[in-house]
Amino acid sequence: MVNWKSRKLGDVLWFANGVVALVLINLLVSHYFFRLDLTEEKRYSIKPQTKEILNTLEDEVYVEIFLSGDLNAGFTRFQKAIQETLEEFRIYSHNKIKYRVTDPGVALSDKARQEFMADLAAKGIQPTNVIDNKNGQRLEKIIFPGVVISYGGREKGVMLLKGNKAATPEEEINQSIEGIEYEVASAIHELTNEDRKRIGFVIGHGELDSVHVASLKAALREAYDVGRVRLDQPPSLQNVDVLVIAKPTSTFSTLDKFALDQYIMQGGKVMFLIDRLNASMDSASSENYFALPYELGLDDQLFKYGVRINPDLVLDRTCGLYPIITGQVGGKPQVQLMEWPFFPLLNRYATHPMTRNLDAVVTKFVSSVDTVKAAGIRKTPLMTTSPYSRKFAAPVKVSVNELRKNVRPEDFSQGDVAVGYLLEGKFTSLYKNRLLPDGAPEQGFKADGVATKLVVIGDGDLARNDINPRTRQIQALGFDPFTNQTFANRDFLVNAVTYLAEDDGLIQARNKRVTIRPLDKTKVTAERTKWQVINLVVPILLLIAYGVFRAYWRKKKFAKF
């Protein structure tokens, strides 16, 4: 009797100790929060830069997910990944992230549904037509793979289906999953950030006018203050975080070069978008038109920084299309879209946050870029042409009549031509150990710079948006009116400016990688029966064996009494 009471008291004490330990653990966890991500690629881990944004939220952020409805397996996985990411955001923001799922296809009437979908498209969430086969039937469904984020009376639409269109649908969805954290976090940062950095577009050297960079400026204004600056007015460069030099066509004076040099020595970041030759489609209809080099005066300066834009044009068989009159039918001209090798489509990028999972960009009359020796400068080739490309040194004949000629594949064998570089490090001044230009201030001159970054691209038209000739409206950057396709020029340039402006900032979230581990379909078919037996029969046999052993053990144990 005494032993029984002692055992009962011991059980009660063990239970009480367990309750106390559980309470203490919960109190400890409430003060010291942590999460463990046991996946190999850390797919559920949030970047420190994202955590900082979420931890500093002052008010609630509302996220509405529009990827909903009857989805196929790929988009169901995409929807689940969006919700999992937002759940992580909710936890790290201390419940200030609120999200819900809305199906745009559910509305009271067709008119209301159309208006709702048009409103989403106006916010930047473009519809996507998904074709699927179900029970032998072809099904088409329009989905909206994006979210709308609201904060403080402002809202922003975010298109989440992004990736390389040349990849398979599964790979494109996987690339989009990898970009969820960056796309959502950057949108939240845009809505909540009050300390906006300043981007300056350099003018005074025949650069692209405001109309032809309107699309890029509109995209940058979502996160930065954007304005125009002149190099001959050095005070205007103060407090400018990034300079954009977009397709200059006239010579830089020595004082302008000196101001630009000292801006870089002080740690300023610059994106050079340079057309080395004066090629244009306006003159390409002429039979005897030759593209000649611009005299910009920047060659020695870029050479000093470790890069050279060559006076040539790169032709690529992977290229854009251009309409050509090939004949007449019934008195009317017959127009045909033909490949135009002077408009290379670039789809080969460096492994870098700036270009990760990026779709193709379209270039126009692009020049090759080489690197030269510059101590301490790290050089990353951002973009290269396809294996089927070639280079022509100036002067280069540019004529649309060449489109009618048969292209010989063997002529395009100088593949992997670099047309853009990222330079990082401490640059040396062009004027080190040299006389300064007349009129340049000697006070404050820096011969050796602090660590900074430069982006150099051999195409100024990369930032140029077209104007609709009928409506005179500004078209989206990268939009091709002949194929109605929008290339990733805008995304690339915004990523480049973001990388330059944000020192090790949020763009590092673009490095997130989610590995696809597809099943071997051949092996699945061959070993299907074996694995069915293992999964269905073996657990039952183990359960029966456990029951027999337990019955034998109990019989043997109680037989002693």
pLDDT range class, residue 330, cuts 50, 70, 90: low
Do 399 and 329 have their domain in common?
yes
- The DSSP result for 175-243, as a single string, is HHHHTHHHHHHHHHHHHH--S--EEEEEESSSPPPTGGGHHHHHHHHTTSEEEEEETT-GGGGTT--EE
Do 119 and 236 lie in a common domain?
no
In the chain, the number of structural domains is 2
Q: What end-to-end distance do the CA atoms of the chain give, in Å?
A: 18
The contacts of residue 531 (CB under 8 Å, 6+ apart) are none
In a domain, 370, yes or no: yes
Query: Backbone dihedral region of 286: left (phi > 0), alpha (psi from -120 to 50 degrees) or beta?
Result: beta
519 domain-assigned: no
Say how far apart CA 323 and CA 100 lie, in whole Å.
46
Whether residues 147 and 109 fall in one domain: yes
Assess if residue 27 is contained within a domain: no
Residues 253 and 155 in one domain: no
Pair 160, 99: CB distance under 8 Å: no
Residues 178 and 284 in one domain: no
Cα–Cα nearest to 243, from 505, 507, 453, 477 = 453
Which residue, 192, 214, 243, sits at the end of a domain? 192
Read off the CATH number of the domain in which 75 is found: 3.40.30
Q: What are phi and psi of 335, to 5 degrees?
A: -105, 135
Q: In whole angstroms, give the CA distance from residue 301 to residue 537.
A: 74
Specify the pLDDT at position 403.
66
User: What is the CB neighbour count within 10 angstroms for residue 331?
Assistant: 5
Give the residue-averaged pLDDT of 502-517.
67
Within this chain, do residues 350 and 307 fall inside the same structural domain, yes or no?
yes
Residue 424 in domain: yes
Q: How far is CA 272 from the centre of its chain?
A: 19
Is there a domain that residue 555 lies in?
no
* Residue 15 located in a structural domain: no
Is residue 380 within 8 Å of 306, Cβ to Cβ? no
Rounded to two decimals, what is the model's pTM?
0.81
Tell me the residue length of the chain. Answer: 561
| Residue 60 lies in domain | 48-192
Rounded-to-integer distance, Cα 16 and Cα 10, Å? 10
Q: Is 440 helix (H, G, I), strand (E, B) or coil?
A: coil
Cβ(359)–Cβ(162) below 8 Å: yes
Looking at residues 206-218, what average pLDDT do you find?
A: 94
d(Cα 261, Cα 284) in Å, to the nearest integer? 36
Low-confidence winner among 60-69, 113-122, 224-233 (lowest mean pLDDT): 113-122
Q: Which of 161, 192, 223 is the last residue of a domain?
A: 192
In this structure, are 139 and 215 located in the same domain? no
Same domain, residue pair 154 and 238? no
Across 115-137, average pLDDT:
78
Across 92-96, 282-286, 464-468, least confident range? 282-286
pLDDT over 70 (residue 5): no
- Residue 58 in any domain: the answer is yes
Q: Residue 112: is it exposed, middle or buried by C-beta count within 10 angstroms (0-12/13-18/19+)?
A: exposed
Is residue 143 domain-shared with residue 204, that is, in the same domain? no
Checking if the pLDDT of 33 tops 90, the result is no
Among residues 148, 165, 192, which one ends one of the domains? 192
Same domain, 107 and 246: no
151 & 202 share domain: no
Same domain (yes/no): 398, 339: yes
